Structure 1
Amino acid sequence: MKRLVPILLLPVALVLFGAALAPKLASEERLRTEVAALLEHAAGQPPRIDGPVRFSIFPWPALEVSEIRFGEGSATLTVPRARVVLDLLPLLTGQARADHIELDQPELALAGGVDIDPFSTGVLRLASAKFNADLTVTNGRLVLTHGGTREVVVPAADLRIGWRGGRDAAIEGRVVWRGEPIHVDLAASSLGVLLTGGASPIRVKLSGPPFDMAFDGTGKLAGGPVANGTLTVASRQLRQTLAWLGLEAPTAQGFGSFSLQAQSILSGQGATLSGARLELDGNVSEGGFNLRLDGARPVIQGSLAADRLDLSPYGELSISDAAGDNWSGETIDLSRLSQLDVDLRLSATEVRAGAGRLERMAASATLKSGRLLLAIGEAEAWNGIFRAALHVSPAPVGAEARLDLSADDVALAGAMGDLFRMGRLEGTGSFRFTAGGTGASVAAIVGGLNGSFSLSGTDGSLVGFDVGRILARLEQRPLSATGDLRGGRTPYSQIELESTIRNGIATLSRLDVASDKLRISLAGESSIADRDLDFVGVAQLVSAAKAGDAPPQGAASAYVAGAAPGAPQNVSFELPFIVRGNWNQPVVLPDPQALIRRSGAARPLFSKPAAYGSVAPAP
């Protein structure tokens, strides 16, 4: 056996000797011709070689070449250094065949942005090439050129690309995009059918810290590149993914776990998603979308349906400052509204927003030419029907905003509490609110607000004051009003409110509260910008008038004007009062002169004004 070893090693030695001697016998021109043919065979187009070419034997026979360039115009590929590793067996017969090609620091430059046509042309060339080899890309780059500027989109790419005779292709490796490593896994088969207009099976997987994406379907190039298949996108923190893409989440909270799965049609003009299942922050909805990219702005159209939506992860809408005592003075920026157009429809069986709940809601969001409309067409809420619309559009200074709210037969405590943070009104009723203004901030808009508010309700209570108890006590002891008048409830059978808003001032023209025991009337003004109150009113204790009774004389004991339908009522006690202070802590003060006049002990003082040096009432 030992005698056979030298004989067996003799061919190997001859091969090594021939390989070592070949570089010295072959001219550089011959090597340049060979490597150009191998690269053209691999890429489907001839290269331009400006650097030297040499042949090396160790660690494996290979042709090493520098300064290579493919393509001209909109798409060019430059390779500073390449190494074509040769297949050993064909080399013994005098033929050069590439086993694999190593590209060091290649750069793909696209002029004027990402154009799909060069990719389509390149894929068709590769599909027609009868090339079986692997390409290894080390530290590659993708660059976009705009005039004289260069934008490095992918600063680093390490990929292994496999081509199998124009039939199958596979790409696997890692790229760095926006500072994050993304793992790439792409496979395509039956590439030859692309030459006849057919569709080739495609599988793509992208995964990294920002997101995971997978596509499984087919793609074709005839008539423009189109991919059709199942698309899956997921992100552990959508807020971070949006920030990574240079986008800002619409709200300060939420936008955590996200996933999307849909049947998709992807093309250079946009995308169509059907049978989509979208999950965000635990909310699941289904529907479809259309994304169009062939206009002046991207356009998103679609509809979603959900069984249950919980909006609590996104926090509460706040238009006040951090302390909550004043309106926000932060400058309104609507520049993002002009970046795209949106037309979305949403329906949900149940929507929760904090303590509020809407049922069977139909809503829409429309954004066109920078003008935004958010609308709730109709929803069941607070045991009634609720509608809302918010219009926002750019203005020469800041923004123009308008809000329209309407509710019919709702529980007033829940509706007023959830919408206006005013929980002092109970009962069932309806209201209409419309207001609009223009300004650079919320505070400026509120300062110039114009609109109206009206409300009517039945069978409820005013929470925080028991007016009947207070009036009954003051009727017996008029000077006992120094105590705390707060606490309890004032039942009513009917309430009516009408108010207008002009330049940020709400004028309460009518607030009438009626029951079988009392009447309350209130009027005045409230500065919405300063959140203060300046109201005057009259509270009356009443009793049913007996048949045949003559109307009592005097303002304090007259028939009640505007009383509820039925028998007239007599006024047994009347008390004027004022309401001052801010919205959060209003102060109710009875008229002291009326109480003094009511007091029997103080009445003689009013009959002798001269004793006090006064012969006429004080102005």
Structure 2
Amino acid sequence: MSSPLIRRGIWAIGVAVLVIALAVAALPLVASTRIVRDRIAWEMSAWSGFRVTIDGAPRIEVWPNFRAILTDVTLSQWTEGDAPPVIEAERVEVNLSAMAALRGDVVFSTARLVRPTIRVQRAAHGLFLPALPSGGRITRSIDIARAVVSANPAKPDLGKLPADPFGTVEFRNGRVVTSVDGKDAEILSSLSGQANWAAMNSNATLSATGIWRGESVAVDAASSNPLVLFGGGAAPMTLSFKAAPASFSFDGVASMSENAYFDGKAKFAAPSLRRVLEWSRAGIAPGAAIGSVSVSSKVTATSGRIKFENTEIALDDNPGMGALDFSFGEARPVIAGTLAFETLDLRSFLSAFTPLAPTDGAGPGEVDISVADRIDLDLRLSAAQATAGAIQLADVAAAAQVKNGLAVFDISDASAFGGNIQSSLRFDRKPGGTQVEIRLLASDIDGGAFGTAAGMSRLVPIGTGTVSVILKGPGRTWDSIFENADGSVSAKFGQGALSRFNLPAFLK
């Protein structure tokens, strides 16, 4: 290569380096003159659909990333000037395109909200959601997707979906609040995570962590076509929720139309159902000693109804199979279904609905059937082997029914003590207080085994016989039931013997 060519090459490289250096040096100047506060606010508003205000002056950084740092940023509804902002953040860091900045344009790639506060309201279906914007590119993209889905719900034309680039939104150390008596009440704190959505017609993911009701929670969600999902069409979706009290996951197809539905595989697990009930503030027998539960099922959910098919369930490591149906009426949700177990602790199961004994160290147990105010229940149970306290049962057929202040738990058939057992526990809420009815029919049983299990070995004859017990009484506490109950006790035994029978003690 000749010397003049070498010199020209060096000059070309030098000029290129000088241009790049001048461009980099000019970025803060360009940013300070063209990418001013109002221009950034306008672009953020154009995307979000909210009125965006930035109280602090933007600070521009060139290295290591070209970005604008904004302070005291609020996003509010255009039509509600007196309402508090939907979102406000102490700081927003926006990564910008350097080439677009030199042209005088604002192109975001990443927006990071630091210590944001998100205000939500309780919707008609009970969930807390932020106010929706009246416009913006995202809203318009969803409107277009809704039209595409309406044209062909079974197979929408994905080629007609908007392809506008979006990017990543990160949030750090935020919180979610709602208004209670005119003041902000915190629902979620320490909220951090990010949403990735490269373009409107591409896949999207969301991951977030936070603290809800004193427990750390983590949520992950993803969809290969979120725009179709938001537009009311059906799209694949995965969702997972993890916390110390419980975990949940879903993998299937979902639709967010007016006739919303979910269809896929769902899993739920909790090391202690009592802890879940207390954490969720369900108000269902919080003192009951309920153990672990896990559920894996095919789920089909439509508006107002959820069906669990081919359900695998484990209560305190006792596996079972069955089907459940949840429906949500105007008054109370209704739960119905059938479950079959190899082994089952009936005491633990029924404790989900009412305390069956005084809580340890808490004195006489209050009879609580508040569950009857919250749900209607019709559940059929069967178990090859079961326990009810110290009593061993086999071939059990049982039912639990709760409705309109009435709670009934029946064992319609079971084998025990060499014979057959039938029993019923009924709680009926009356204006004057809860009335409790207890029935037991033990036919052709071994009296000695029955007396030992019932703690009445001195009263029950050793021999084969039948025992019938019917007791009714007020149900304020368990002690009062047995102290004030009226009813009858009858027994008929064949040839046998009485062991140290004390007639005065029996009559007492």
TM range (shorter): 0.7 to 0.9
Q: Does 1:61 align with 2:61?
A: no
Alpha-carbon deviation of 1:374?
A: 0.7
CA pair 3-180 structure 1, distance change in 2 beyond 3 A: farther
* Structure 2 counterpart of 1:48, from 48, 52, 62: 52
Corresponding residue number in structure 2 for 1:256 = 291
Match for residue 25 of structure 1 among 14, 28, 33: 33
What amino acid is the match of 2:380?
R
Matched letter for residue 61 of structure 2:
I
CA positional deviation for 1:112: 3.6
Q: Distance in 1 between matches of 2:44 and 2:25?
A: 24
Q: Map residues 94-243 of structure 1 onto 2, 5 A cutoff.
A: 94-113=104-123, 127=142, 130-166=164-200, 167-194=202-229, 197-243=232-278
Cα distance, 1:283 vs structure 2? 0.8
Preserved contact between residue 217 and residue 228 of structure 1 (Cα < 8 Å):
yes
Matched, 1:580 2:490: no
SS at match of 1:222: coil
- Structure 1 equivalent of residue 496 of structure 2: 460
Match of 2:87 in 1: 78
- 1:454 Cα shift? 1.6
Helix, strand or coil at the partner of 2:462: strand
Q: Indicate conservation of the 8 Å contact 1:253/1:315, yes or no.
A: no
Q: Distance in 2 between matches of 1:320 and 1:155?
A: 37
Within 5 Å, give how 1:234-313 maps onto structure 2.
234-247=269-282, 250=285, 254-266=289-301, 269=304, 271-310=306-345
8 Å CA contact retained: 1:398, 1:439: yes
Q: CA deviation at 1:211?
A: 2.0
Cα distance, 1:392–1:356 mapped onto 2, change above 3 Å: same
| Residues 352-405 of structure 1, C-alpha deviations (whole Å, 9 max, x = no match) | 335422222111111112211111112222222221111112244542111111
Q: Among residues 430, 435, 458, which one is paired with 2:471 in the alignment? A: 435
What is the TM-score when the length of structure 2 is the normalising length? 0.80
User: What SS does structure 2 have at the residue aligned with 1:256?
Assistant: coil
Aligned match of 2:98:
88
- Over 3 Å counting, the alpha-carbon distance change for 1:251 and 1:20 in structure 2 is closer
TM value normalised by structure 1: 0.66
1:144 to 1:272, Cα distance in 2 relative to 1, 3 A: farther
Distance 1:125 1:156, change over 3 A: farther
> SS in structure 2 opposite 1:345?
strand
- The change in CA–CA distance for 1:36 and 1:6 in structure 2 (over 3 A counts) is same
Q: 1:291 to 1:108 in 2, by over 3 A?
A: farther
- Distance in 1, matches of 2:206 and 2:448, equals 62
Q: How does 1:496-575 map to 2 (within 5 A)?
A: none
SS of residue in 2 equivalent to 1:425: coil
The CA deviation string for residues 130-185 of structure 1, in whole angstroms up to 9 with x for no partner, is: 23300011122222334534332112210111112122111123121111111222
Q: Distance in 2 between matches of 1:203 and 1:68?
A: 31
Provide the rounded CA distance (Å) in 2 between the counterparts of 1:255 and 1:117.
Answer: 29
Larger Rg: 1
Structure 1 residues 303 and 313, CA gap change in structure 2 (3 angstroms): closer
Q: Deviations over 1:489-519 (max 9, x none)?
A: xxxxxxxxxxxxxxxxxxxxxxxxxxxxxxx
Could you say what the CA RMSD is over the residues aligned between the two structures, in angstroms?
Answer: 3.5
Which has the bigger relative contact order, CA under 8 A and spacing at least 6? 2
2:373 maps to which residue? 338
Q: Provide the C-alpha distance between the structure 2 equivalents of 1:315 and 1:102, rounded to a whole number of angstroms.
A: 49
1:458 to partner: Cα distance: 1.3
Contact 1:200 1:220 in 2 (8 A): yes
Residue in structure 1 matched with residue 151 of structure 2 by the alignment: none
What is the aligned partner in structure 2 of residue 484 from structure 1? Answer: none
Q: Where do 1:402-421 residues align within 5 Å?
A: 402-419=437-454, 421=456
Contact 1:397–1:440 under 8 Å retained in 2: no
Tell me which amino acid in the other structure corresponds to 2:73: E
**Aligned partners of 2:306, 2:263: CA distance in 1, in Å?**
10
Letter in 2 for 1:33: R
Q: Provide Cα deviations, 1:266-303, integer angstroms capped at 9, x if missing partner.
A: 45635332221111211111122223334222332222
Tell me whether 1:36 sits opposite 2:36 in the alignment.
Answer: no
Q: How many Å separate the matches in 1 of 2:325 and 2:228?
A: 28
* Contact 1:56 1:62 (8 Å CA) reproduced: yes
> Structure 1: how far apart are the matches of 2:141 and 2:498?
80
Unaligned runs of 5+ in 1: 466-532, 534-578, 587-619
Q: 2:153: which partner in 1?
A: none
For 1:464, give the aligned amino acid.
R
**Match of 2:67, as an amino acid?**
A
* Letter aligned with residue 87 of structure 2: T
Partner of 2:497, secondary structure, is strand
Question: Comparing 305-314 with 193-202, which one deviates more in the overlay?
Answer: 305-314
Match of 1:471 in 2: none
Does the aligned pair in 1 maintain the 2:285–2:371 contact within 8 Å?
no
The structure-2 alpha-carbon separation of the partners of 1:217 and 1:421, relative to structure 1 and needing over 3 Å to count, comes to farther
Q: 2:19 aligns with which of 5, 8, 11?
A: 11
Shift of 1:104: 2.1
Give 1:237 deviation, angstroms: 3.3
SS at structure 1 position matched to 2:319: strand
Asked if structure 2 preserves the Cα contact closer than 8 Å seen for 1:75 and 1:111, the reply is no
1:258–1:279 contact (8 Å) kept in structure 2:
yes
Asked if the contact 1:75/1:118 (under 8 Å) is kept, the reply is: no
C-alpha distance in structure 1 between counterparts of 2:256 and 2:178, whole Å: 23
What is the CA–CA distance in structure 2 between the aligned matches of 1:204 and 1:75, rounded to whole Å? 31
Asked whether the 8 Å contact 1:183–1:206 carries over to 2, the reply is yes
Q: Which amino acid in structure 2 is aligned with residue 153 of structure 1?
A: I
Work out whether 1:444 is the aligned partner of 2:449. Answer: no
Counterpart check, 1:426 vs 2:462: yes
TM-fit CA distance, 1:342 = 1.8
- Secondary structure of 1:367's aligned partner: strand
Residues 273, 289 of structure 1: 8 Å contact kept = yes
* SS of corresponding position for 1:106: strand
- Alpha-carbon contact 1:55-1:61 (below 8 Å) kept: no
Q: How many residues get paired?
A: 464
Partner SS state of residue 410, structure 1 = strand
